[in-house]
Homo-oligomer: A and B are copies of this chain.
């Protein structure tokens, strides 16, 4: 049965309804026959549509291992997992966690309360608990934090035939069997062979003779974004993780990398819009407002600084009222160019494209671009003012301010996030609205400063 997108949705709704019916009728066989045939992701979708009571029946129908298979694909936040787990018998819940992919299990255990964590760990299979405990030491956003320890490693003295036989045995419980890692007796990573190469190779050859010795690996402490870059560059399906003594400790698979790329891009994106990253389209208006409010209140205060500053220029404004008509265009254009520079800097920092040596070059490039675009926009606005108002001095003030503030805005947009990053401050603070508001203040100071200088000619 082919399940292309169009008929999948219709068909899926039917399947869901029958499964819910079976749960309510407590029909174990009927339920399992259909449910176990679904992809884990689809199982998860159905699970999430169930009532608490139906979920409880499902736990009776399935083993913790079977539940863990679709728990792995739910991709919930840790607190949402916690909410689900709280309603399940602790021993059963512990077994679900233990049977999940270790990287996912660790994410959950790291987020729930210490008390609950220490309840679950002793209730798991000992082997799972040991692996999970060892993974819990790594930072969340590093290679160690996203790797799994379920890796297939073989030794170089095996023949291809032996390796295939071994693979047959371990395949069911390994997350990724398409790369086999060759280790020496001290568990140092000595080579790699893909299952593709293994299949093509002669059965009697030694692994040591057919493996690739140049293995690209990452360190446990490497940032997840760097890891993603390597996997994407090399078109890998997985990359091995080594510790500081080059022992093989785990593997990071393509599906985890896709999530990293998605997640990191989302973070950059949210920062540019001045939002928290945990917004969801299913939030209510009140939830959305609550998440955005801290930012917006902060920006209101910053905006009041602008208002307070402008009130010093009340005299200037009173004498040449037309000046206020250009406040929005000057602050707006400074905001636009500043945001563009900020976007380049944020992206460059998070993809690692901006190195220490290239920072000054980038700032210079942005300043140059700010100057050129400021000059062009300044000329345009000068001509418009001449035509509309026949006020050359006003034209000079507005276009001069535009040129200066667009140049400064590019520098602010580039340098602030780079400095923050260097100082180790979470550059999330250098978000779009913050930079824009800062540029507002500076651009208006330039504007009124210039206006005051030319005041005599304006009257």
Tell me, in angstroms, the Cα distance from A329 to B380 when the chains sit together.
Answer: 26
Known contacts A171-B196, A296-B337; A285/B364 CB under 8 A: yes
Tell me, in angstroms, the Cα distance from A219 to B7 when the chains sit together.
Answer: 11
Q: Which chain B residue lies CB-closest to A329?
A: B303
Contact (Cβ within 8 A) B299 A326: no
Tell me, in angstroms, the Cα distance from A307 to B387 when the chains sit together.
Answer: 14
Tell me, in angstroms, the Cα distance from A235 to B254 when the chains sit together.
Answer: 8
Q: Is A8 an interface residue (CB 8 A)?
A: yes
Q: Is A76 an interface residue (CB 8 A)?
A: no
Contact (Cβ within 8 A) A232 B219: no
Contact (Cβ within 8 A) A283 B365: yes
Residue of B8, B348, B358 near A216 (CB, 8 A) is B8
**CB-defined interface of A302-330 with B at 8 Å, one 1/0 digit per residue?**
01101110110010011001101111110
Task: Identify which of residues 269-296 in chain A touch chain B, using a CB-to-CB cut-off of 8 Å.
Answer: 269-270, 272-275, 279, 281, 283-286, 288-289, 292-293, 295-296
Tell me, in angstroms, the Cα distance from A226 to B9 when the chains sit together.
Answer: 14
Chain A contact-residue range equals 35 or more
Stretch touching chain B among A52-60, A91-99, A131-139, A256-264: A256-264
Q: Is A332 an interface residue (CB 8 A)?
A: yes
Residue of B270, B286, B325, B364 near A310 (CB, 8 A) is B325
* Copy count, this protein chain: 2
Task: Name the B residues within 8 Å of A232 (CB-CB).
Answer: 255, 258-259, 262
Tell me, in angstroms, the Cα distance from A380 to B437 when the chains sit together.
Answer: 17
Q: Which chain B residue lies CB-closest to A364?
A: B285
Contact (Cβ within 8 A) B321 A365: no
Q: Is A178 an interface residue (CB 8 A)?
A: yes
Task: Name the B residues within 8 Å of A273 (CB-CB).
Answer: 272, 339-340, 342-343, 432
Stretch touching chain B among A21-29, A111-119, A370-378: A370-378
Task: Name the B residues within 8 Å of A321 (CB-CB).
Answer: 314, 317-318, 321
Task: Name the B residues within 8 Å of A265 (CB-CB).
Answer: 261-262, 265-266, 268-269
Nearest 9 A-B pairs (CB), nearest first?
A: A285-B368, A303-B329, A265-B265, A273-B343, A324-B324, A289-B372, A310-B325, A288-B369, A235-B255
Q: Besides A272-B272, A335-B436, 18 other CB < 8 A contacts?
A: A2-B188, A3-B216, A4-B218, A231-B258, A232-B255, A254-B254, A261-B261, A273-B343, A285-B371, A296-B336, A296-B373, A300-B380, A303-B328, A303-B381, A311-B325, A317-B321, A331-B332, A332-B335
Q: List 10 A-B contacts (CB under 8 A).
A: A2-B217, A2-B246, A178-B196, A270-B343, A297-B376, A297-B377, A300-B402, A303-B328, A304-B381, A335-B335
